[in-house]
Amino acid sequence: MGESLAFHYEVDGGDFTSAGQASVKIKKNLRQLGVDAETIRRVSIAMYEGEINMVIHANGGNADVIVDDTGVTIILADKGPGIADTEKAMEEGYSTAPDNVRSLGFGAGMGLPNMKRYTDDMKIESVLGEGTTITMKVNF
Amino acid sequence: MTIREIGDLLDARVLCGKDLDVDVKSACGSDMMSDVLAFVKHRAALLTGLVNPQVIRTAEMMDMLCVVFVRDKTPTIDMIELAEESGIAVLATSKRMYEACGILYANGLKGNGELHG
């Protein structure tokens, strides 16, 4: 590739049914770039969980994806309530999602652990009342 | 096991799917999509009683081949269109989750999932 490519998506917070559209698009974009299937799967699952989180907790946000020689970086930024205890939020099964989200198949406290599981690097920056930015990288 | 064989074993209706002769190598049964996303499977089928578009998106993210709705759950037209766009076959059976999974397992379709990472 030689140079880096950047993609930007807006994640609509109003509609749970449309959550995941940005991940579908990035999946197609990475496929067009000839990225290998395993990397695409890891990127799209991590981003999908992140997108769902932004819809559930933060009324949407922005997703930026940068592809360079070393891998794929995903930056998910929202202006939601922030995460009070990021360490606790990383525990499998810990969730602050409302009950109705569980009936939709999410909110089981697996989102952040899954994002960490599928990426080589993950950083959470969160300020209560201001928002959360999650940066993840999947190396080639 | 092909998608066609899955359909036959479960007395399922095929709601969409162009190629029913592709080979499915693994399967999982869950109504919790994050649990589905935690396990890597190759050429997989998803059995679920959950009906919303995120089921199809989850299957798409996992590169799954087929979604089977159990206990007579019927997906919406939008969901079927989404699956068609993504090349995912959609089946519906009146069997319950436990029974549907058991039939497929007993006929040789194992879980074969690995927790990623």
Range 20-79 of B in CB contact (< 8 A) with A? 31-35, 37-38, 40, 50, 52-55, 57-58, 60-63, 78
- Number of domains into which chain A is organized: 1
ipTM of this complex: 0.90
Fold for B3-110, please state it: 3.40.1390
Note down the domain range covering A52: 5-139
What is the domain-level CATH number for residue A61?
Answer: 3.30.565.10
Residues in Cβ contact with A74 at an 8 Å cutoff, skipping those fewer than 6 apart: A43, A46, A47, A50, A63, A64, A65, A119, A134, A135, A136, A137, A138
- Among residues A92, A125, A117, A121, the alpha carbon closest in space to that of A42 is found at A117
Q: Which residue has the tokens 């080979």?
A: B23
Cα–Cα dist A100/A106, whole Å: 9
Per the DSSP assignment, residues forming a β-bridge with A71 are A139
What is B42-84 written as a DSSP string? SSEEEEES--SHHHHHHHHHTT-SEEEE-TT----HHHHHHHH
Which chain A residues are Cβ-neighbours of B31 within 8 angstroms? 105
B61/A116 touch (CB, cutoff 8 Å), yes or no: no
Q: Which pLDDT tens digit goes with each residue over B57-116?
A: 999 999 999 999 999 999 999 999 999 999 999 999 999 999 999 999 999 998 876 666
Cβ separation B61–A106 shorter than 8 A: no
Helix axes A37-58, A21-32, angle to 10 degrees: 160
From the list B86, B72, B63, the residue with the least C-alpha distance to B13 is B72
d(CA A76, CA A135): 6
Q: Where are the domains of chain B?
A: 3-110
Closest CA to A79 of A60, A51, A56, A52: A60
Q: Distance from CA of residue B1 to its chain's centroid?
A: 13
pLDDT reported for residue B39: 87
Under DSSP, is residue A74 helix (H, G, I), strand (E, B) or coil? strand
Per-residue pLDDT tens listing for chain A (140 residues)? 568 999 999 999 878 888 999 999 999 999 999 999 999 999 999 999 999 999 999 999 999 999 999 999 999 999 999 999 999 999 999 999 998 898 889 999 999 999 999 999 999 999 999 999 999 999 99
Residues belonging to chain A with any Cβ–Cβ distance to chain B shorter than 8 Å: 16-20, 23-24, 27, 37, 41-42, 44-45, 48-49, 52, 102, 104-106, 108, 110-111, 113-114, 116-118
Q: Which token pair is B41? A: 């499977």
Alpha carbon distance B117, B101 (integer Å): 26
Question: How, if at all, do strands B44-48 and B26-29 pair?
Answer: parallel
The strand pairing partners of B28, in sequence order, are B46
Query: What pLDDT does residue B116 have?
Result: 65
Query: Which residues are A5's β-sheet partners?
Result: A67
Phi, psi (5° rounding) for residue B11? 50, 45
Rounded distance between C-alpha atoms, residue A1 and residue A39, angstroms: 15
